[in-house]
A and B are shown apart, each in its own frame.
Chain A
Amino acid sequence: MSSSPRRRLLAYFARRPAAGSWALLTPGLLWLAAFFAVPLVVLLAYSVMHRGTYWGVAPGFTLEHYRRFLDPLYLAIAWRTLWIALATTGLCLVLSYPVAYVIARAGRWRNILLFLVILPFWTSFLIRTYAIIVLLRGGGVVNSTLMGLGLTSAPLELLYTPGAVLAGLVYGYLPFMVLPIYASLERLDLDLVDAAEVLGARAFARFRRVILPLSLPGVAAGSLLVFIPSLGAFLTPDLLGGAKTMMLGNLVQNQFGPARNWPFGAAVSFALMGVVMVGLLAWLRVRDAEAAA
C-alpha cells in the first residue's frame, strides 16, 4: 500500500468534510438516479404526451389523460382501490392490536411469538398469494371443509371476489401492522395503567383512556405501512380478484399491455404516486415525532 497518494487524498477530504460524504454517496445516488428517478421522469413526460398510433407515445402536450380519470369507469376503479386499501388497513388494525398487546405482555414467550409473526414474511409474497388460491378455490380446502361439515351443499364462490383480494392483502401485510404497534406497546409504562386502576378506571376505560392513546404512534405508523402498499397492489388483485376487482395497479398494467394506451397508463401511475407520496410524507412526520418523543 503506497501511503503518499492515500495521505494526500485524506488530507483533501479532511479539508472538505462534505466532499467526503458526497464521494461516498455518489455511486449509489447515480445508480438510483439512472434506474429509478430518470425512468419516473420519462414516465411523467409520457403522461402528458399524445397516444401513439399503435403503441408508445406521439409528440405534443396534453392533459387529456389526467382528465380521462373523471370517466365513471376509471373513477370506479379508483374508488374500489381506495376502499380496498382502507378496509385492508382497518382489518389489519383490528387483528393486529390484540396480537401486539398479547406479545407485549407475554414475558418469556415474547421472542417466540415475535418470531412467529415474522416467519410467514420469509415466504415469498407470490407463494403466499398462491396459498390463498389453494385454500379458497372451488374444490379448495375451505370449501371442502365447509361441505364436509354440512354447512354448505355446493362450493361457495370465494375466489375472484373483492373479499378474496381483501383476505390476500390482510394476510400479506399483517406483520407491517403488528410490529410498530408492538414496539409502542412494549415501551408503555405499566405504572400508568396501574395508576388508572387504583383511581377506579375499569378495564375498558383503562384501555380507551390510557393504553390506546399511548400506542397511537405505533397505530399510525402501522396503518401507513399497510395502506401504502395496499394502494399500489398489483399481484394480489391480479391473481385473487379477476376482472371485476381491478385495482389501479392492474389498470396501469392493462394500459401498457392489452389496452396499449401508454400515456393514460403513465397518468394513472402518477395519480397513484401522488397518493403514495402523501402517505410517505405523513409516515416521515410520524416517525420524526416518535423519535423526538
Chain B
Amino acid sequence: MTRRLSPLLVALVGGIFLVLHLPVLVLVLYSFNSSRFAASWSGFTLHWYARLLERPDILRALRLSLTVATLSTLVATLLGTLLALGLSRRPFRGRRLIEGGLYLPIVTPEIVAGISLLILFVALRVPLGVGTVIVAHVAFTTPFVAVVVLARLRGMDRSLEEAALALGADEVTAFRRITLPLLAPGILAGALLAFTLSLDDFVITFFVAGPGSTTLPVLVYSMVRRGVEPTINAVSAVLVVLTTGTIALASRLGGTRGA
C-alpha cells in the first residue's frame, strides 16, 4: 500500500528542493542581467555571453579542459575497465585488499592527493604542464571507473559467457562477442563519470598545472578570487549546460539512469 504523506512533510521537502536548486538557477538567471551589480535586475541582455567570445583566455581554457578530459577519460576508462575485469574473475589471494585499496584514492582529500603529486613532480624535476595534469586526472578518475564497471560486472548474468565457452569459443572470442557488449553500458557510465570529474576538477589541477596549462575551473577560480562579475555567471551557465547536457544525453543513450 502507499501511505498518504502528510502535507506538512511534503511542503517541507518541497522547500528543501527549492533551496537545493535556487543557487544555480539564480546564477544562470543573473547571467542574463544587464546590471553589473548582480543583486538588482535591470533587464535582459546577452552582453556577458558576447564578452566571453572576446576573451581568448576563457576559450583557450575551455578547449584545454575538453582536451584534458577527453584524453584522461580514454586512458582511465581502459585502465579502470581492466582493473574491474581482473577483480571480477576467480578469487585470488589479495583480491579483497586490492578492492578495498581502490577506495583509498576516492576518499583521499583532494588537497592531499594534489600536494603529494606536486612534490613528486618537483622532486623528479618534471616540468608542470598539460602532461602532468592528464597524468593526475587519470590517477584520480581510474578508481571511479573501476568501481562503476565492477558494479555492473557483479550485477551481470555470467551464464551467457559460460555458455559461449562451453560451445567452444575461446576466452578472447567470448569476451569480445558476449562480455564486452553486455558490459558496454557500465563502461560508458564509468567513462562519463571520469569525463565530468576531470572537466570539473579544480583542487588537484590547481597544484599540478603549470603556467600555460590553465584549465577552465582553475581560470574560473582565479576570476572568483578577483571578485564577483557577470562574466563568471556566463561562463558558469555555459559549463552547467555543457556537463548537464552531456550526462543527460548519454544517460538516455546508455539507458543507465543517474550513474
Chain A positions near chain B (C-beta within 8 angstroms): 6-7, 10, 13-14, 17-18, 20-25, 27-29, 31-32, 35-36, 38-40, 42-43, 46, 95, 98-99, 101-102, 105-107, 111, 113-120, 122-128, 130-135, 137, 139-141, 143-144, 171, 174, 190, 193-194, 228-229, 231-235, 239, 249, 252-253, 256, 262, 265, 269, 272-273, 276-277, 279-280, 283-284
The B118-159 residues at the A interface (CB cut-off 8 A) are: 118-120, 123, 135-136, 138-140, 142-143, 146
B163 within 8 A of A: no
| Nearest-neighbor residue (CB-CB) of A114 within chain B | B258
Q: Which residues of B contact A253 (CB under 8 A)?
A: 111, 115
Q: Which residues of A contact B140 (CB under 8 A)?
A: 36
Taking each of B108, B115, B118, B228, which has the highest tally of chain A beta carbons within 10 Å of its own beta carbon?
A: B115
B83 touching A24 by the CB < 8 A rule?
Answer: yes
Q: Which applies to chain B's interface (DSSP): helix, strand, loop or mixed?
A: helix
Q: Once bound together, how far apart are the Cα atoms of A133 and B118, in whole Å?
A: 29
Binds A, one of B36-44, B55-63, B177-185: B36-44
Taking each of B109, B117, B239, B247, which has the highest tally of chain A beta carbons within 10 Å of its own beta carbon?
A: B109
Inter-chain residue pair count (beta carbon < 8 A): 245
A32 touching B172 by the CB < 8 A rule?
Answer: no
Q: Once bound together, how far apart are the Cα atoms of A253 and B13, in whole Å?
A: 38
Report the minimal beta-carbon distance from B244 to chain A, rounded to whole angstroms.
5
Report the minimal beta-carbon distance from A281 to chain B, rounded to whole angstroms.
8
Q: Once bound together, how far apart are the Cα atoms of A132 and B27, in whole Å?
A: 9
B170 within 8 A of A: yes
Q: Which residues of B contact A232 (CB under 8 A)?
A: 108-112
B90 within 8 A of A: yes
Q: Once bound together, how far apart are the Cα atoms of A232 and B98, in whole Å?
A: 23
B12 within 8 A of A: yes
**Lowest 8 CB-CB distances: which A-B pairs, in order?**
A232-B109, A24-B86, A131-B23, A39-B116, A25-B86, A35-B139, A28-B79, A28-B83
Q: Once bound together, how far apart are the Cα atoms of A89 and B105, in whole Å?
A: 21
Among A21, A22, A27, A272, which residue has its beta carbon within 8 angstroms of that of B79? A27
The B196-254 residues at the A interface (CB cut-off 8 A) are: 196, 199-200, 202-203, 217, 220-221, 224-225, 228, 232-233, 236, 239-240, 243-244, 247
B119 touching A42 by the CB < 8 A rule?
Answer: yes
Report the minimal beta-carbon distance from B112 to chain A, rounded to whole angstroms.
5
Q: Which residues of A contact B12 (CB under 8 A)?
A: 98
Taking each of A31, A118, A190, which has the highest tally of chain B beta carbons within 10 Å of its own beta carbon?
A: A31
Report the minimal beta-carbon distance from A4 to chain B, rounded to whole angstroms.
12
Chain B positions near chain A (C-beta within 8 angstroms): 1-3, 5, 9-10, 12-13, 16-17, 20-24, 26-27, 30, 37-40, 78-80, 82-83, 85-87, 89-90, 92-93, 95, 98, 100, 103-105, 107-113, 115-120, 123, 135-136, 138-140, 142-143, 146, 170-172, 196, 199-200, 202-203, 217, 220-221, 224-225, 228, 232-233, 236, 239-240, 243-244, 247, 257-258
| Contact status of A116 and B21, CB under 8 A, knowing A42-B120, A123-B240, A123-B244 | yes
Q: Which residues of B contact A107 (CB under 8 A)?
A: 2
B117 touching A22 by the CB < 8 A rule?
Answer: no
25 A–B contacts, CB within 8 A, in A order: A17-B90, A21-B90, A24-B82, A28-B79, A28-B80, A28-B146, A35-B117, A42-B116, A101-B9, A123-B24, A126-B217, A127-B220, A127-B236, A128-B24, A133-B224, A134-B38, A139-B38, A171-B23, A174-B20, A194-B1, A232-B108, A234-B203, A239-B224, A256-B115, A269-B109
B202 touching A125 by the CB < 8 A rule?
Answer: yes
Q: Which residues of A contact B110 (CB under 8 A)?
A: 232, 234
| Nearest-neighbor residue (CB-CB) of A239 within chain B | B224
Among B26, B78, B203, B247, which residue has its beta carbon within 8 angstroms of that of A135? B26
B220 touching A133 by the CB < 8 A rule?
Answer: no
A128 touching B23 by the CB < 8 A rule?
Answer: yes
Q: Which residues of A contact B199 (CB under 8 A)?
A: 124
B30 touching A134 by the CB < 8 A rule?
Answer: yes
| Contact status of A39 and B247, CB under 8 A, knowing A131-B26, A131-B236, A134-B38 | no
Report the minimal beta-carbon distance from B234 to chain A, rounded to whole angstroms.
12
